[in-house]
Chains A and B, each alone.
Chain A
Amino acid sequence: MSELITKSASELADLLADGQIKSVELTRAHLEQIQAVNPKVNAFLHVDADGALAAAADSDARRARGEVGSALDGIPIAIKDNFCTTGMPTTCGSRMLEGWVPPYDATAVQRLKEAGLVILGKTNMDEFAMGSSTETSAFGPSRNPWDLERVPGGSGGGSSAAVAACLTPLALGSDTGGSIRQPGAVTGTVGVKPTYGGVSRYGVVAMASSLDQPGPVTRTVLDSALLHEIIGGHDPMDSTSIAQSLPALADAAQRCDVRGLKVGVVKEFGGEGYEPDVEARFAEAVQWLQDGGAEVVEVSCPHFEYALAAYYLIMPAELSSNLARFDAVRYGLRLGDDGRNGMEAVTAITRGQGFGKEAKRRLIIGTYALSSGYHDQFYGSAQKVRTLVAGDFDRAFAQCDVLVSPTTPTVAFKLGERTGDPMAMYKADLCTIPSNLAGNASASFPIGLSAAGLPVGLQVIAPPMADDRCYQVGGFIEAKVESDTGPLLAKAAPIVGSKAVW
C-alpha cells in the first residue's frame, strides 16, 4: 500500500527535493500500482518498466550531483499513445501501427526527457483519437476508475483513467474536440487544452491538424500548470507554434483569487440533453466564483449550436488526408500481399482491415466532405461556421475574461451504451468543440459528483495565449472543493487490488 501514489506531482517534487524519497522508489511504487490495477482499467497499452527505472536512477544520480533538470525531475509520467516515442511502440490504438517504434521523439516527449521526467509507458486511446470513450481502441476499451462498467471518456481515456486510478501522477493527452477535457470531466481529473500553437504538435500523430492540441492530464491544477510549462513554448519544427513565451501558469494556478474576474456563462450550453446533476453542480461552481468576488454575466454565442456539425465535417476532412499515409508501403501493417494483388489492392485491403469501424466511417465522411461537387456545401460551409464561432468568442471575450460551462452534458456513460449511435457519441463533445474550432485555451476541472457518485467537470475557456486565466479559475475551484470535502478522487470506491491510500 502506498500514500506516495496519491500525492500530487508538486508534493512529490518537494519530497524528492528534500531527499525524503528517491525517484526509483517513486517509480517502483507506480509500476506496482500499474501491475495491480491496469488489468482492470486497461489504461496502459505499453509499460516500459526497465526504461522508467533507468530514467529514475539517472534522475536520482543527477539530483545527487545537484544537477536537477526541472521542477518535475524524477516524477513519473504516462504518455498518450499518439505521441511518437523512441524505444517504445506508438500504435495510436490502431492495428495499423501495431508494433511500430518511431525513429524520433515528439517535441513534447523530448522536452519531458530533457526535464528529467520518468516515462512509465503509453496510454490507451480511441483509434487515432477518433472517439469519446476509448471504445474504438483496437486493444480494448479503458475503464473508468469510478465505475469499471463506465467509460473514462475519450479519446484520451487511458491517460485520464491512469491519473485517476493513481497509476501515474501525470500524463500527456491531445485534444481535437475535447479528448483531454471530456475524459478529465468524467474521471474527476484536471485536463487542459492549451491555446492552439501553445504546445508543439511535432511528433503527435495528427487527427485533424487545425484542431489538434497536446496538453497536460493531472490530478491537480498546479501539476497541470507545471507540466504545461515544461512541454509548452515555441517549437521551430511546428509551423503553427506560437513564437512567444507562455504566461506564468504555475503562479496563476496558486493565486486562489478570482476577485474582479469577469466570468461569462454561455447560455447555449445547457437545457435539453444536459443532465440535471451536471447543471446543478455547474450552478454551484458559478456561485462559488461569484462568492469569491468574480463578476458573473450571461453571454450568448448563437453560432455554437452549429459547432458540432462544423466539427464533424472539418475533423473528418482533415483526418481523411492525414490518415492517407497509412498505405502499407513504408511502415506499419501490410495485408493481402500474396503475390497476386497489386499495390493498389494491397493498400485497400490493409486499410479496409487495419482501420476499425469508426475510422472507416470518418474516412468516408471526410472524403465525401472534400469531394468535388460537395466541397463548398460541406467543407467550405463548415469553415465559414468556424469563422462565426470564433466571432462569437471574440464578442464574448470583449465582455468577459473567461467563459464557463459544464465540460460535458452528462456524466460518464456505460460501456457500449453509445457505440451503436454515432451521433449520441459525438454529442459528448458538444461543449468542448467550440474551443478547438477557435483555437483558444480551455480546461476542465472537477467540481463535484452527481447523485450517483460520478464526477462532473467545469470547463473554463480563455482567449488565445491567456491560458493562465484557466489556471487561475481552476486553482480557485480546486481549493474550494478540497476545503469543502477533501480531494474528490479520494471519494471513488477503491479498485480491488489498488495500492492507493488517500
Chain B
Amino acid sequence: MALSAEDVARLAALARLDLTNAECAELAPELDVILTSVAAVGEVAGPDVPLMTHALPLVNVMRDDEVRPSLPREVVLAGAPDVEEGRFRVPQILSED
C-alpha cells in the first residue's frame, strides 16, 4: 500500500497533530512496515465472521434518571489553560462545526 509522507500529513491533520515534514517523512516508512505486517487480519476474517467490539456480551447497563452533584466550578476550571468569567477561554475558532 506504500504510505507516503503526504498520506501521513493528511492523517495527521485528521488526528489534529502538527507534524513537521521531516516527521512525516520519517514516520511514513515506519508506519508502512507496521501496516504491512498487520494487514494479515484481512486474510483470515471471512465475510461471515461477526465483529467483536466488546470483550464481554453485556447488554442494557443503565442508570436511573437521578441528579447527582456536579463538580464545584473552581474545581472544573482549576486545570484549564485559560479562563474568563467562569468559562473556558480559547483562541479564535476558524472552522465551523
Contact = CB atoms under 8 A, between A and B. Distances in A.
Is any CB of A less than 8 Å from a CB of B in the complex?
A: yes
Interface of A: 100-101, 103-104, 196-197, 210-211, 236, 239-240, 242-243, 303, 306, 308-310, 312-313, 320, 324, 327-334, 337, 339, 341-349, 351-353, 355, 360-361, 363-368, 371, 377-378, 380-388, 390, 422-423, 426, 436-439, 464
A306 B41 contact: yes
Given A309-B40, A380-B51, A438-B55, A347 B16 contact: yes
Closest 4 CB pairs of A and B: A439-B55, A352-B18, A384-B45, A331-B79
Given A343-B94, A344-B94, A364 B82 contact: no
Contacts of A308: 38
Nearest to A320: B15
A364 B27 contact: yes
Contact of B8 (A210, A236, A364, A381): A364
A86 to B, nearest CB: 10
B17 A351 contact: yes
Interface string B39-55: 11110111001111111
Interface string B79-95: 11110000010111111
A385 B41 contact: yes
B68 to A, nearest CB: 10
B33 A348 contact: no
Given A342-B94, A344-B94, A371 B14 contact: yes
A334 B3 CA distance: 30
A351 B41 contact: no
B50 A343 contact: no
Interface in B26-44: 27, 30-31, 33-35, 37-42, 44
Contacts of A349: 18
A343 to B, nearest CB: 5
Given A103-B76, A239-B58, A422-B34, 9 more contacts: A197-B58, A243-B61, A327-B16, A329-B81, A347-B16, A381-B41, A384-B49, A387-B50, A464-B56
Contacts of B45: 380-381, 384-385, 387-388
A344 B16 contact: yes
B2 interface: no
A385 B71 CA distance: 42
12 contacts: A303-B44, A310-B38, A329-B81, A329-B88, A332-B81, A343-B94, A352-B12, A364-B15, A378-B38, A383-B52, A384-B52, A436-B55
B67 interface: no
A368 B79 contact: no
A343 B81 CA distance: 13
By secondary structure, the A interface counts as helix
Contacts of B50: 384, 387
A384 B61 CA distance: 24
A101 B79 contact: yes
A383 B54 CA distance: 9
A387 B45 CA distance: 9
A407 B7 CA distance: 37
B94 A368 contact: no
Question: How many residues of B sit at the interface, in one of the four size bands?
Answer: 35 or more
Given A341-B91, A371-B11, A330 B80 contact: yes
A438 B57 CA distance: 11
A240 B76 CA distance: 26
A309 B15 contact: no
Given A197-B58, A384-B41, A385-B41, A361 B81 contact: no
Nearest to B89: A329
Contacts of A355: 17
B93 to A, nearest CB: 5
Nearest to A340: B91
A360 B56 contact: no
B81 A197 contact: no
B23 interface: yes
Nearest to A302: B44
A177 B45 CA distance: 21
Nearest to A389: B52
A309 B19 contact: no
B53 A388 contact: no
Contact of B41 (A103, A331, A334, A378): A378
Contacts of B22: none
A100 B16 CA distance: 22
B15 A363 contact: yes
A353 B18 CA distance: 8
Contacts of A384: 41, 44-46, 49-52
A364 B92 CA distance: 26
A451 to B, nearest CB: 31
Contacts of B61: 239-240, 243
B52 A386 contact: yes
A377 B38 CA distance: 11
B50 to A, nearest CB: 6
B76 to A, nearest CB: 8
A211 B44 contact: no
B55 A103 contact: no
A342 B93 contact: yes
Contact of B44 (A306, A312, A390): A306
B31 A365 contact: yes
A89 to B, nearest CB: 11
Contact of A211 (B27, B35, B42, B55): B55
A103 B75 CA distance: 7
B38 A313 contact: yes
A500 B27 CA distance: 44
